[in-house]
Copies of this chain bind each other. A is one copy, B any other.
């Protein structure tokens, strides 16, 4: 019954990678807390670099600076 929301920048995660994240986090919740995988919901949000900030700057700016 858990609900997990994963937010990452939109920088080319593939369908296979997203499927692997969903499988992995569902298994983790089953292993650690005994949660039922059948009702575990995972939602991935991919966010544009302009819309993600860290250290007071957008990721767009940081990528231009090579970070």
Asked whether A54 lies within 8 Å of B29 as measured between CB atoms, the reply is no
Interface-central residue, A4, A38, A59, by most chain B CB under 10 Å = A4
Neighbour of A56 across the interface among B7, B9, B22, CB < 8 A: B22
Copies of this protein chain in the complex: 6
Chain B residues lying within 8 Å of A37, measured Cβ to Cβ, are: 55-56
CB contact under 8 A between A40 and B55, given known A2-B6, A60-B15: yes
Chain B residues lying within 8 Å of A3, measured Cβ to Cβ, are: 3, 6-7, 41, 43
Q: Number of contact residues on A: which range applies?
A: 35 or more
Asked whether A29 lies within 8 Å of B33 as measured between CB atoms, the reply is no
Asked whether A17 lies within 8 Å of B32 as measured between CB atoms, the reply is yes
